[in-house]
Amino acid sequence: MDSGFMHQFVQQLINGVSLGSIYALIALGYTMIYGILKLINFAHGDVYMLGAYIGFFCTSMLKLSFLPSIIVAMVGTALAGMIIERVAYRPMRNAPRIAILITAIGVSFFLENAMILFASPQPRTFPAVFSATVYHFGALVINSQQIVILVSAIVLMIALTYIVNYTKIGKAMRAVSFDADAARLMGINIDFVISMTFALGSALAGAGGVLVGIYYNSIEPLMGMVPGIKAFVAAVLGGIGIIPGAMMGGIILGVVEALVSGFISSTFRDAAAFAILIIILLYKPQGLLGKNVREKV
């Protein structure tokens, strides 16, 4: 293999992992909410858009730096997630699954159009919060934004893994997602746990929104649609409802897209994502980390 190919391959791998880590952040929220409510939250991509706008507001109007901006965006989207759950989904808790799904699509349209109304449909330029330093490692190029994205995503994923595995609320989330009635019999307030799950998942999407704003410099009210669907593909790829699966699915999807853009054509990028979805649904519908058998009775 010639070195030009290898170089190109590794370069696309770097691009893919940074894009994929954003997909992973969004996919985590999908998968957590699915795990606990068996609901595909179609509004999740719009929560990510909301995070990007809050980040934009903080950096351009309030002139905040990166860290406070991403924290404000995460808190804002966490609250938004809790409100969405409380207002739109909780009244539908015992409704047929399809009714809740349609509600989620409605919430998605609501958020998109509300943002168009308040912030105008014009794309906004996200201010450069980092000087775009470019680092060269031999022939490889990695810029400071990619490093920030990767580091932020890794820190957030480690934090989430810790919360889910070792804290009381995290264990309660796992208990509720496995067996909600048994969890209620333990004294767990499942409404509270569901609310916290929306808060956590939405905060991760909000962080993803800010990171994407930094990466692509541009945000607009409909920016959540395609990444939202792709993050859903990532969650299904890893096994919906499984947290490490969402991380893995996001990274794989990002890398595949980058490789397709680099070696074939960037116009096939989206096709690659959906081809993955079709293949996984045909051959391993439970996802890469999914198991068919869940319990032994």
Q: Nearest distance from residue 180's CB to another protein, in Å? A: 10
Which of residues 2 and 295 has its CB atom nearest to another protein in the complex? 295
Q: Which is nearer to another protein, 4 or 96 (CB)?
A: 96
Tell me which long-range contacts 7-13 makes (C-beta under 8 A, separation of at least 24): 7/139, 7/140, 8/262, 8/263, 9/259, 9/262, 10/140, 11/140, 11/141, 11/262, 12/255, 12/258, 12/259, 12/261, 12/262, 12/263, 13/255, 13/258, 13/259
Q: Would you say 88 or 180 has its CB closer to another protein? A: 180
Residue with Cβ nearer another protein (190 or 225): 190
Q: Which is nearer to another protein, 188 or 258 (CB)?
A: 188
Which of residues 185 and 282 has its CB atom nearest to another protein in the complex?
185
Q: Does residue 99 touch another protein according to CB under 8 A?
A: no
Contact between 28 and 157 under an 8 Å Cβ cutoff? The reply is yes
Q: Which two structure tokens, joined as six digits, stand for 21? A: 């880590």
Binders of another protein among 184-223, rule CB under 8 A? 184-190
Shortest spacing between CB 183 and another protein, in angstroms: 7
CB of 160 to another protein, least distance (A): 17
Structural contact between residues 48 and 202, judged by C-beta atoms closer than 8 angstroms:
no
Least distance in angstroms from the C-beta of 185 to another protein: 5
Dihedral (CA of 255, 258, 261, 262) sign: negative
Percentages helix, strand, coil for the chain (3-state, rounded to 5) are 75, 5, 20
Q: What is the dihedral of CA 112, 50, 39, 287, to 10 degrees?
A: 110
Smallest distance from another protein to CB 168, Å:
7
Task: Return the number of the residue (63 or 294) whose C-beta is nearest another protein.
Answer: 294
Element (H, E) at 129: none
Please list, residue by residue across 154-163, b when 16 or more beta carbons sit within 10 angstroms of its beta carbon and e when fewer do: eebbeebeeb
What type of residue sits at position 233?
A: V
Smallest distance, another protein to C-beta of residue 172, A: 7
**Under rule CB under 8 A, which residues in 30-69 are in contact with another protein?**
none
Residues numbered 160-189 forming contacts with another protein, rule: CB under 8 A: 168, 171-172, 174-175, 178-179, 181-189
User: Would you say 45 or 239 has its CB closer to another protein?
Assistant: 239
Q: Is the dihedral of CA 135, 137, 139, 142 positive or negative?
A: negative
Number of residues engaging another protein in binding (CB under 8 A): 21
Run of H or E including 20: helix 3-37
CB of 293 to another protein, least distance (A): 9
Scanning residues 113 to 132, which ones bind another protein (CB under 8 A)? none
Q: Which residues bind another protein (CB under 8 A)?
A: 168, 171-172, 174-175, 178-179, 181-190, 294-297
